[in-house]
Structure 1
Amino acid sequence: MRIQDIIEGKKEWRVHMARVKALPRDYQIVYKEIQKYLFKVGPVELTNGTGLLSGIIDLFEGGAALGKGVLDVTGSDVAAFCDDLIKDSKTYADIYQESVHQEVNKAMKKVTDKTK
């Protein structure tokens, strides 16, 4: 990654966070919780720019403009809302599970080969 890419990424992130700060307080709180949740759950494409997070802000800006409360937009189960957003996305947990599966298969193959 070039230094220019890093600088551009920081600029984009600052603009992104300015949009969050412009949201009503309840939306900001829920957005930050969603952000934490997604960073922990780890959809792989989340690290490639702010596409998913920007989409959430778009949704929140629309809801706020209509005078809706944030839970009217997300539903009362915010974690389920997040899970639904990333249901078709590959996560770091998926990658790790695949890695564990491959390691177990390799180990079991070695054990089986030695017993033959």
Structure 2
Amino acid sequence: MDAESNEPKRGLLQYLEVVTGPLADKKRWWQYKARVKNLPENYRTAVEALERYLMHFGPGDGAEAASMFEDLADLFERSAADGTPIREIFGEDPVEFVEAFMQNYSAGSYIRRERERFTNAIARAAGEDTGQEDRTV
């Protein structure tokens, strides 16, 4: 009887994961958001700005994105604890900082995938062997 009572619940969870993605990734996201909320205001403002940028240009896959945001929270928690000034974290060019940060999480970036696909297509058109299969489909 217990198995039957758990079956509809498990089916609903499976359906939700198909629609929204793995629930474990959602849990990681909310844990990250709680960590950011506990940062001092200026660090929180910087992280939220980074978050907006990363949502557009960072990894799209759940596990890779979750890892990236957890690392971001680690960085800013340590920086806040050490009293590291915001400008010292970012340097003079915040875009250069975030682009370098994203290089560690390249697997999910749709921009990087499209750049590679474009570069490989041009190489193939030029008669060069890229060693990459065409994934345009």
TM-score with structure 2 setting the length:
0.61
Cα root mean square deviation, aligned: 2.9
1:39 and 2:55 equivalent?
A: yes
Give the equivalent residue in structure 2 for 1:70: 86
SS at match of 1:57: helix
Give the equivalent residue in structure 2 for 1:114: none
The one-letter code sitting in structure 1 at the alignment partner of 2:44 is Q
How far has the Cα of 1:69 moved from its partner?
2.1
SS at match of 1:43: coil
CA contact (8 A) 2:59 2:110 kept: yes
CA contact (8 A) 2:50 2:98 kept: yes
Give the equivalent residue in structure 1 for 2:73: 57
Q: Distance in 1 between matches of 2:53 and 2:68?
A: 13
* Structure 2: gaps (5+ residues): 1-12, 127-137
CA contact (8 A) 1:26 1:69 kept: no
Percent identity reads: 26
1:93 and 2:90 equivalent?
A: no
Distance 1:43 1:30, change over 3 A: same
Q: Distance in 2 between matches of 1:94 and 1:81?
A: 17
Size of the aligned set, in residue pairs, is: 108
CA contact (8 A) 1:60 1:70 kept: no
The one-letter code sitting in structure 2 at the alignment partner of 1:35 is E
* Structure 1: gaps (5+ residues): 109-116
Distance 1:86 1:9, change over 3 A: closer
Q: Which moved more, 1:90-99 or 1:65-74?
A: 90-99
